[in-house]
């Protein structure tokens, strides 16, 4: 049975191209509308499997509408956002409110992008149709959804080549490093984990699959709502207790050792597993540099990025975990990590922070 989609965008040109792209990709488009107020009665007659939703629209913005949908009739939503600073920040709010994923529309060359059948829209909608929305019912509760006509909520105030693995990583150190790989469904899920950690927690290096510009907004938002310091990583940043370093979109991030300290290296490089940043690139570097001093976790996401890197970490002596199926929005990356044999523990989302705390206190594993 084909996927049923509905498109909401205030631009008639954009709606036309999005509908054509979805149809060409084998997705049945039930209809389209210029804004949520027009869309709601149309969708009520025949509810879609996936909603493709613009972020900034007249009369009602995408976030307000998204909250209404999630409160009244939870449905996978793919956000369409323009690559602007405001668009990135708004998209982060939307993902936090329950959107499954997003597709970025360039400010320049929009018509060419919309006509390109490889722009990622079809894949995003297909992945969203398989999303486990029950995973969004987590201890990190969202604010109550606004009704039709309610104004949008204000934004919060600010507060390469893969390395070969080696077991010669620094064996004795008081520093533990936590490496996390996450993708579809990650914005809400990582918030649940980080809210339970504090500034005494081991330093975290993380890849969340996102394009350039979005990771800065992602890090800034997390930094306002969790105790740990959250930064978009820069080349040479130190990994220290109480700090989370997020790989910048469009760059690979690797762990390096500088004397007795851990730092990150941020570099250009080819796509790995169709991603840049790639989870495998990060985790393999952690296996090489930190070995059994590290903890590795693969969380919700589509595909298999991170499965091989987590196995390398496991073989290097690190304690490793994968998020369980019941709490994963998309049980792709964790399932592949388990299948590759690099997982010690399968852990539900709300217990991952506790797993980090317990594992960091375990004696170093012999390899």
Other Cβ atoms less than 10 A from the Cβ of 45: the count is 8
In the prediction, which pLDDT does 260 show? 83
Determine the Cα–Cα distance for residues 347 and 196; give it in Å rounded to an integer: 15
Instruction: Please compute the mean of the pLDDT values over residues 196-204 and round it to a whole number.
Output: 97
Helical H segments across the chain, by residue range: 12-24, 36-45, 62-72, 85-97, 110-115, 121-129, 186-195, 214-225, 279-289, 307-315, 333-339, 352-360
In the prediction, which pLDDT does 112 show? 75
pLDDT(165) > 70: no
Q: Which of 101, 131, 161 is the last residue of a domain?
A: 131
- Which of 366, 365, 346 has the alpha carbon at shortest distance from 355? 346
Say yes or no: 124 and 15 in one domain: yes
Q: Which of 61, 237, 305, 312 is catalytic?
A: 305
In the prediction, which pLDDT does 104 show? 82
In the prediction, which pLDDT does 89 show? 82
pLDDT(228) > 90: yes
Residue with tokens 């329950």: 98
Confidence of residue 94 (pLDDT cuts 50, 70, 90): confident
Confidence of residue 84 (pLDDT cuts 50, 70, 90): low
Residue 192, classed as helix, strand or coil, is helix
Answer yes or no: is 263 within a domain: yes
Answer yes or no: is 160 within a domain: no
Residues 6+ apart with CB under 8 A from 116: none
Range of the domain at 112: 4-131
- Which of 322, 312, 275 has the alpha carbon at shortest distance from 180? 322
Question: Could you report the per-residue pLDDT of 111-122, keeping only the tens digit for each?
Answer: 776 676 667 889
Confidence of residue 92 (pLDDT cuts 50, 70, 90): confident
Answer yes or no: is 167 within a domain: no
pLDDT(163) > 70: no
Say yes or no: 104 and 186 in one domain: no
Say yes or no: 181 and 122 in one domain: no
Answer yes or no: is 149 within a domain: no
CATH of the domain at 216: 3.40.50.180
Answer yes or no: is 148 within a domain: no
In the prediction, which pLDDT does 107 show? 66
Lowest mean pLDDT among 2-6, 33-37, 104-108, 229-233: 104-108
| pTM score of the predicted model | 0.85
Determine the Cα–Cα distance for residues 68 and 130; give it in Å rounded to an integer: 21
Residue 50, classed as helix, strand or coil, is strand
* Whole-number Cα distances in Å, 220 to 209, 225, 250: 16, 9, 17
Instruction: Please compute the mean of the pLDDT values over residues 88-102 and round it to a whole number.
Output: 87
Residues 6+ apart with CB under 8 A from 112: none
Answer yes or no: is 152 within a domain: no
Number of domains in the chain: 2
Confidence of residue 167 (pLDDT cuts 50, 70, 90): very low
SS (H, E, C) 155-174: CCCCCCCCCCCCCCCCCCCC
pLDDT(333) > 70: yes
Residue 183 is among the residues annotated as catalytic for this protein: yes
Residue 197 tokens read as: 């950690």
Residue 159 tokens read as: 């507060």
Contact call for residues 233 and 246 (beta carbons, < 8 A): yes
Instruction: Please compute the mean of the pLDDT values over residues 84-95 and round it to a whole number.
Output: 78
Say yes or no: 183 and 123 in one domain: no
In the prediction, which pLDDT does 57 show? 78
Instruction: Write down how long the chain is.
Output: 367
Say yes or no: 324 and 221 in one domain: yes
Output 38 or 154, whichever has higher pLDDT. 38
Say yes or no: 183 and 279 in one domain: yes
Contact call for residues 186 and 289 (beta carbons, < 8 A): no
Q: Which of 32, 183, 278, 328 is catalytic?
A: 183
Question: Considering the chain, what percentage of its residues have pLDDT values greater than 70?
Answer: 85
Answer yes or no: is 170 within a domain: no
Q: Which of 131, 150, 185 is the last residue of a domain?
A: 131
Lowest mean pLDDT among 36-50, 94-108, 133-147: 133-147
Contact call for residues 245 and 282 (beta carbons, < 8 A): no
E runs forming strands in 106-210: 177-182, 203-208
Mean pLDDT of the chain: 87
Say yes or no: 127 and 243 in one domain: no
Q: Which of 17, 209, 288, 314 is catalytic?
A: 209
Output 144 or 310, whichever has higher pLDDT. 310
Rounded-to-5 percentages of helix, strand, coil across the chain:
35, 20, 45
CATH of the domain at 16: 3.40.50.2300
Say yes or no: 119 and 256 in one domain: no
- Which of 206, 268, 210, 208 has the alpha carbon at shortest distance from 243? 206
pLDDT(146) > 80: no
Say yes or no: 255 and 353 in one domain: yes
Q: Which of 75, 104, 131 is the last residue of a domain?
A: 131
Confidence of residue 96 (pLDDT cuts 50, 70, 90): confident
Residue 209 is among the residues annotated as catalytic for this protein: yes
Output 349 or 140, whichever has higher pLDDT. 349
Residue 242, classed as helix, strand or coil, is coil
- φ, ψ (nearest 5 deg) of residue 21: -65, -45
In the prediction, which pLDDT does 347 show? 98
pLDDT(269) > 70: yes
């Amino acid at each position: 049975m084909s996927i049923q989609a509905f498109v909401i965008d205030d631009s008639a040109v954009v709606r036309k191209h999005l509908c054509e792209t979805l149809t060409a990709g084998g997705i049945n488009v039930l209809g389209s509308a210029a804004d949520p107020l027009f869309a709601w009665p149309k969708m009520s007659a025949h509810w879609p499997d996936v909603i493709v939703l613009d972020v900034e629209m007249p009369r009602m913005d995408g976030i307000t509408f998204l909250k209404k949908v999630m409160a009244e009739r939870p449905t996978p939503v793919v956000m369409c956002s323009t690559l602007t600073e405001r668009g990135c920040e708004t998209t982060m709010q939307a993902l936090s409110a329950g959107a499954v994923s997003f597709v970025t529309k360039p400010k320049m060359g929009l018509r060419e992008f919309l006509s390109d059948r490889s722009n990622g829209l079809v894949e995003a909608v297909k992945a969203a149709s398989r999303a486990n929305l029950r995973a969004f019912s987590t201890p990190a509760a969202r604010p109550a959804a606004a009704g039709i006509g309610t104004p949008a909520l204000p934004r919060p105030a600010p507060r390469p080549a893969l390395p070969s693995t080696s077991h010669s990583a620094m064996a004795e150190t008081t520093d533990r490093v936590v490496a996390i790989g996450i993708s579809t469904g990650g914005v809400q899920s990582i918030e649940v984990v980080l809210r339970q950690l504090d500034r005494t927690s081991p330093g975290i290096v993380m890849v969340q699959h996102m394009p350039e510009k979005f990771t800065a907004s992602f890090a800034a938002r997390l930094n306002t709502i969790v105790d740990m310091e959250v930064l978009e990583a820069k080349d040479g940043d130190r990994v220290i207790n109480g700090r989370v370093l997020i790989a910048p979109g469009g760059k690979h991030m690797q762990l390096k050792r500088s004397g007795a300290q851990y730092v990150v290296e941020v570099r250009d490089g080819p796509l790995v597993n169709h991603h840049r940043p790639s989870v495998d690139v990060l985790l393999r570097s952690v296996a090489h540099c930190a070995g059994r001093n590290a903890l590795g976790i693969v969380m919700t996401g589509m595909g298999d990025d991170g499965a091989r890197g987590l196995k390398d970490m496991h073989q290097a002596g690190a304690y490793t975990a994968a998020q369980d199926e019941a709490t994963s929005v998309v049980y792709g990356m964790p399932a592949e990590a388990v299948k590759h044999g690099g997982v010690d523990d399968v852990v539900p989302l709300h217990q991952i922070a506790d797993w980090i705390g317990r594992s960091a206190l375990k004696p170093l594993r012999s390899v």
